[in-house]
């Protein structure tokens, strides 16, 4: 190639630079003897500290994972038979017993009679790339799962809210608040730190949306641990409904009302106790409204919610078993 002619005198140096900086293993296999010459990087990819005295095609196949061995061997034999280039990805077990991924390519060289006498090629360790691909696939599947679940929650909220409101404006206001609770929790879930999904962080995010109640709510934490995504969303919805009901009917409907929230780990479960004091005694509308229905069902299989409507105020025990 004319564009490479300026480099011909130093081609060996350029080749060495490319191979060493790109961590490429190269090999040349003599078909008659079955032995191959390689560079040090090649042997290192297969888990050897130094260069081996000999390397054969059979030795290479012994490193290839059993599930890939027949495919890899068939590809090479077909390339020799058809006198063409070939490439493949496969898993290997290295000399030090590690599971790795490689990408290899080869080309047959012909003698004057047109017979294949030698194979040349290179090999790359692509384990990190494969791991990244697997992680991306896992994240994609998890995102699809979360989106389906979130849409299911929103659909249920729309249907149930519609049955318990008397006007379009009331429907819009109630639905806006409930979707907002989901959105705030989603922001926490998408954060990089696992501490964003601890119960106290979820509660504080909800309380921050009700700034008029500042000073009337106190959180105490004995011990806590991060929650999975669905449990986090369920807790956000429960908290939002408890707050909304407290503002309408309970401790937050009067200036002297107070709410205490205690968080603790008990027998591997997260237990959150919500206690209202100083407000009016719970009335029928608080016991039977959609908010109470949602509170009871929001955690679904992630835990349970028990409400006790005592004369001195609501006591709600939230037990989250998922985690």
pLDDT one-digit tens code per residue, 47-92: 998 888 899 999 999 999 999 999 999 999 999 999 999 999 999 9
Q: Is residue 115 located within the same domain as residue 11?
A: yes
User: 86 or 10: which carries more pLDDT confidence?
Assistant: 86
Q: Is residue 8 located within the same domain as residue 61?
A: yes
Mean pLDDT of 104-123: 93
Mean pLDDT of 114-122: 93
Give pLDDT, residue 233.
78
CATH at 201: 3.30.565.10
Domain boundary among 125, 156, 183: 125
Most confident residue range from 9-23, 33-47, 161-175, 282-296: 33-47
Q: Is residue 279 located within the same domain as residue 307?
A: yes
In the predicted model, is pLDDT for residue 305 greater than 70?
yes
In the predicted model, is pLDDT for residue 259 greater than 50?
yes
Q: Is residue 232 located within the same domain as residue 191?
A: yes
How sure is the predictor about 243, in pLDDT bands with cuts at 50, 70 and 90?
confident
In the predicted model, is pLDDT for residue 1 greater than 50?
no
CATH at 56: 3.30.450.20
Q: Is residue 60 located within the same domain as residue 154?
A: no
Give pLDDT, residue 86.
92
Q: Is residue 204 located within the same domain as residue 262?
A: yes
Domain boundary among 125, 140, 164: 125
Which of the residue ranges 102-106, 188-192, 203-207, 299-303 would you say has the lowest mean pLDDT? 188-192
Domain boundary among 125, 148, 182: 125
How sure is the predictor about 230, in pLDDT bands with cuts at 50, 70 and 90?
confident
Q: How many domains does the chain have?
A: 2
Q: Is residue 66 located within the same domain as residue 209?
A: no
How sure is the predictor about 294, in pLDDT bands with cuts at 50, 70 and 90?
low
Give pLDDT, residue 238.
85
User: 122 or 321: which carries more pLDDT confidence?
Assistant: 122
Mean pLDDT of 210-217: 77
Mean of per-residue pLDDT scores for the chain: 82
Give pLDDT, residue 153.
58
Give pLDDT, residue 69.
95
Mean pLDDT of 244-256: 85
Q: Is residue 116 located within the same domain as residue 194?
A: no
Distance between CA atoms of 283 and 67, rounded to whole angstroms?
Answer: 67
Q: Is residue 39 located within the same domain as residue 63?
A: yes
Residue 17 structural domain = 2-125
170-212 pLDDT, tens digit each: 777 767 766 776 676 666 655 545 555 899 988 988 887 776 6
Q: Is residue 118 located within the same domain as residue 216?
A: no
Model pTM score:
0.51
Q: Is residue 20 located within the same domain as residue 108?
A: yes
Q: Is residue 68 located within the same domain as residue 142?
A: no
């Amino acid at each position: 190639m004319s564009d490479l002619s300026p480099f011909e005198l130093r081609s060996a140096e350029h080749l060495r630079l490319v191979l060493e900086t790109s961590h490429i293993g190269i090999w040349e296999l003599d078909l008659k003897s079955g032995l191959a010459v390689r560079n040090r990087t090649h042997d290192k990819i297969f888990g050897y500290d130094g260069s081996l005295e000999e390397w054969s095609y059979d030795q290479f196949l012994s490193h290839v994972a059993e599930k890939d061995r027949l495919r890899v061997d068939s590809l090479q034999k077909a390339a020799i038979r058809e006198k063409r280039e070939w490439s493949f990805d496969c898993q290997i077990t290295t000399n030090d017993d590690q599971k790795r991924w490689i990408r290899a390519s080869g080309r047959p060289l012909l003698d004057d009679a047109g017979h294949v006498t030698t194979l040349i090629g290179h090999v790359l360790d692509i384990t990190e790339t494969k791991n990244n691909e697997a992680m991306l696939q896992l994240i994609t599947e998890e995102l699809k799962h979360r989106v389906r679940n979130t849409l299911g929650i929103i659909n249920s909220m729309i249907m149930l809210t519609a049955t318990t409101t008397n006007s379009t404006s009331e429907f819009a206001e109630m639905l806006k608040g409930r979707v907002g609770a989901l959105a705030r929790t989603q922001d926490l879930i998408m954060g990089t730190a696992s501490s964003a999904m601890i119960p106290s962080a979820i509660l504080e995010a909800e309380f921050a949306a009700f700034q008029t109640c500042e000073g009337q709510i106190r959180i105490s934490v004995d011990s806590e641990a991060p929650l999975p995504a669905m449990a986090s969303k369920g807790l956000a919805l429960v908290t939002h409904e408890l707050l909304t009901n407290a503002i309408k009917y309970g401790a937050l409907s009067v200036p002297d009302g107070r709410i205490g929230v205690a968080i603790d780990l008990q027998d591997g479960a997260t237990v959150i106790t919500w206690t209202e004091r100083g407000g009016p005694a719970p009335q029928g509308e608080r016991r039977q409204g959609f908010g109470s229905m949602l509170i009871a069902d929001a955690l679904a299989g992630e835990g349970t919610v028990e409400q006790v409507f005592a004369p001195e105020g609501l006591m709600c025990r939230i037990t989250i078993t998922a985690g």
